[in-house]
Amino acid sequence: MLNQFLPTILRFKYILLFSLFFIIGAFNSPSLADQATVNQNSASKNPNIVLVLMDNLGWGEPGVYGGGVLRGAATPRIDALASEGMRLLNFNVEAQCVPSRASLMTGRYAVRSGNGSVPFFTSTYGLTKWEITLAEMLSSVGYQTGAFGKWHLGHDDGRYPTDQGFDEWFGIPHSSDESFWPSGDRFRAGAHPSAKPSYVMRAKKGSLAKKIRVYDLQQRAVIDREITKEAIKFIKKSSRKGIPFFAYIPFTMPHYPLLPAPEFKGASRNGAFADVLMQVDHYVGQLLDALKKAGVSDNTIFIFTSDNGGEMFVPAHGFTGPWRGSYFTGLEGSLRVPFIIRWPAVIPRGLSSNEVVHQMDIFTTLANLTGGVVPSDRIIDGVDQSPLLLGKSAKSAREGFVVYVGEEIYGIKWRNWKMMTKEVGSGVGSPVKINPVPHFYDLHTDPKEMHPLDARVLEDLWVRFPMTEILKNHLASFKKEPAIKPGTPDPYFPKAN
């Protein structure tokens, strides 16, 4: 009789053992955060870094942020990138182009380095050699560094990317609107020593930058294609050498003038902006494919973001999703931009967060992830966001920041609140409104910042205390370390207090 039931008993035995192992495994299996720690420890301590910085790409342009086909063209490669990594919904930048790039490169408020605004009335601008850039920090721990695209942090010998830590550079020194000049019949080259056309340039560390060709409207249409090619060559070269690399790729689109490359012109059949959106997605895809082909995709941190909110000039004006305003305004449409980060097997897939993060934090975060050193001899405003980005924490390491437009403080952002003492509606040329009593906005209930005196806001004016604390501490920091004056030449060294 026992022999008859033995197979059944053994089956139940194995089922019981399997169930027990399953239960034990469930209690002991690592969480996403634990797995991220394990994966990070097993990954190289020197991950490659590709940082794509678009020019005036609004928060709502990619499909994964609500744009894509709604803007006339799908963005499948960018959307897939987000699904493979983490997407930030509350990533903030400075309100103008030059300060945004200065903040990114130094981990500091741009006013500290003398780059708080776009320089309209001075020929000398950019980062002094005293500043320590992201490229210099990474070079110090063995990275090969290359910049491919728009610099906009200096246009004199001594202030190009290869003077600030990059081993090589291909791109343009200024803004793309200068491509109008040599193509226009009103331009008078030589009318003044400073009235010069902009150039596509190339440089190697230790050598003077060389002008390759005039940056006119014809070159404007194809420059991002050339940037992509140069970046891919750098990725291939660095990968063959087995050297960790940092590829900084500040594209020029969709900054005005909006001219798609010939192969993309008319491709969407929905106008120039949709053509350019297709183009952007394609170039991002080419970079991702190059990493995979080089065999370094799994150990590469890939970041996709933008320097400013959406373009202001019609018909190239940007889409900022639920937010209002273009760059130059300090509104959420000015400050919030897309941010996607992927590091396969280290950053958990498909994460998203609405925690406040600022572009200053990239410097400090990448220093932590690569073993780089954060300077201790100057004020660094960026904070380490690696716990948030690696899925170890649901909270940001910062709660707020000071909102600058140019070199002027317009307000404070704290959690989901803003306190604005100055406001401007739509960028360059719009009148600045000074608020004798600060305007308070709850971004949860009023994302477009339209109702500062809503009764619900009045009930919560206690938020002015943490906001005022941020401002007070920020202003006090300039007594410890005065800001560098705009246009300060090299050599520069801070005065001892």
Residue 27 within any structural domain of the chain? no
Tokens of 258: 């909006």
pLDDT of residue 316: 80
**Residue-wise pLDDT tens digits, 250-296:** 999 999 999 999 999 999 999 999 999 999 999 999 999 999 999 99
| 192 is a catalytic site residue | no
Residue position matching structure tokens 């404007």: 220
Tokens of 126: 């950019």
Residue 360 within any structural domain of the chain? yes
Residue 385 within any structural domain of the chain? yes
Q: What is the pTM of this model?
A: 0.90
In this structure, the answer to whether residues 330 and 413 fall within a common structural domain is no
In this structure, the answer to whether residues 45 and 164 fall within a common structural domain is yes
pLDDT of residue 424: 85
Interaxial angle between packed helices 361-370 and 97-106, expressed in degrees from 0 to 180 and rounded to the nearest 10: 30
**How far apart are alpha carbons 156 and 345 in whole angstroms?**
42
Residue 486 within any structural domain of the chain? no
Q: 360, 395, 430: which is the final residue of a domain?
A: 395
pLDDT of residue 150: 98
Query: Of residues 152, 255, 317, 358, which has the active-site annotation?
Result: 152
**Residue-wise pLDDT tens digits, 97-145:** 999 999 999 999 999 999 999 887 677 899 999 999 999 999 999 999 9
Sheet containing 400-405, strands listed edge to edge, beginning at the edge strand earlier in sequence: 400-405, 408-414, 417-424, 432-442
CATH of residue 450: 3.30.1120.10
In this structure, the answer to whether residues 330 and 445 fall within a common structural domain is no
Residue 57 within any structural domain of the chain? yes
User: For the chain, how many structural domains are there in total?
Assistant: 2
Tokens of 260: 């798609």
pLDDT of residue 312: 86
pLDDT of residue 42: 40
In this structure, the answer to whether residues 389 and 421 fall within a common structural domain is no
Share of the chain above pLDDT 90, in %: 78
Residue 34 within any structural domain of the chain? no
In this structure, the answer to whether residues 339 and 294 fall within a common structural domain is yes
Name the residue range of residue 324's domain.
39-395
Q: How far is CA 91 from CA 26, 120, 218, 285, in A?
A: 35, 27, 34, 22
In this structure, the answer to whether residues 439 and 368 fall within a common structural domain is no
In this structure, the answer to whether residues 388 and 459 fall within a common structural domain is no
- Enumerate the β-bridge partners of residue 408: 405
pLDDT of residue 390: 97
In this structure, the answer to whether residues 325 and 342 fall within a common structural domain is yes
Q: 362, 395, 428: which is the final residue of a domain?
A: 395
pLDDT of residue 479: 96
pLDDT of residue 189: 83
Q: 378, 395, 412: which is the final residue of a domain?
A: 395
Interaxial angle between packed helices 272-293 and 217-241, expressed in degrees from 0 to 180 and rounded to the nearest 10: 20
**How far apart are alpha carbons 294 and 238 in whole angstroms?**
9
H or E element that contains 361: helix 361-370
SS (H, E, C) 26-50: HHHCCCHHHHHHHHHHHCCCCCEEE
CATH of residue 319: 3.40.720.10
Residue 10 within any structural domain of the chain? no
> How far, in whole angstroms, is CA 302 from its chain's centroid?
11
| 358 is a catalytic site residue | no
Q: What is the DSSP letter of 449?
A: -
In this structure, the answer to whether residues 61 and 197 fall within a common structural domain is yes
318: nearest Cα among 52, 60, 54, 53: 60
In this structure, the answer to whether residues 436 and 288 fall within a common structural domain is no
In this structure, the answer to whether residues 214 and 357 fall within a common structural domain is yes
Residue position matching structure tokens 């002094």: 128
H or E element that contains 417: strand 417-424
Q: What residue ranges of the chain have pLDDT lower than 50?
A: 1-43
Residue 45 within any structural domain of the chain? yes
Residue 484 DSSP SS3: coil
* Amino acid in the structure at residue 310: G
In this structure, the answer to whether residues 212 and 266 fall within a common structural domain is yes
